[in-house]
Amino acid sequence: FKMCEPSVAAVDDRFAAGSGPRLLLCGSRPARAHVGLAVELPERTRVRLAVYDIMGRRVRTLANGELPAGRTEFQWDGRDQSGATAGSGVYFASLNGAGARCSVRVPLIR
82-94, pLDDT tens digit by residue? 999 999 999 999 9
In terms of phi and psi (left: phi > 0; alpha: psi -120 to 50; beta: otherwise), the region of 4 is: alpha
With a cut of 60, say whether residue 7 has pLDDT above it: no
Q: Mean pLDDT, the chain, as a whole number?
A: 84
Q: What is the pTM of this model?
A: 0.79
Summarize pLDDT for 45-83 with one digit per residue, the tens: 999 999 999 999 999 999 999 999 999 999 999 999 999
Phi, psi dihedrals of residue 98, rounded to the nearest 5°: 55, 35
With CA atoms as reference, report the closest residue to 76 among 14, 11, 26.
26
